[in-house]
Amino acid sequence: MAAETTYPPCVGCGFCCTKAVCALGIGFYECNEPPDPPCRGLVWSEQDQRHYCQLILEQGAESKLAELMAIGAGCSCTLNDWYREPNQNRTK
């Protein structure tokens, strides 16, 4: 389980994985700096109308990897415009 934080919840807007691919995205999916992103690990759920990380879908939200990635700890970049807009598929 991720450490408790005071961050507001992640809404799955996909901003972070599009603008700043994490080290795992660079390592696993060989994503580099813009304009290469969004990370190829970023997946869109039509059903949930939000993005997920493919690595976490495979490993599980309770996995060690999820803990290391602070999944569930909230969003630290809520000033981005996407956070307040209705989510849309950013993987296209």
> Which is nearest to 91 in space by CA: 37, 21, 34, 47?
37
**Given the complex with ligand SF4, which of 22 and 49 has the nearer CB atom?**
22
Q: Are 53 and 41 in contact (CB under 8 A)?
A: yes
Map residues 63-82 to x or -, x wherever contact with ligand SF4 holds by CB under 6 A.
Answer: ------------x-x--x--
In the three-class reduction of DSSP (H, G, I as helix; E, B as strand; rest coil), residue 35 is classed as coil
Q: What are phi and psi of 53, to 5 degrees?
A: -95, 125
Q: Is 44 in the site for ligand SF4 (CB under 6 A)?
A: no
Judged by the rule CB under 6 A, the positions of this chain that interact with ligand SF4 are 10-17, 21-22, 24-25, 39, 41-42, 51, 53, 55, 75, 77, 80, 83
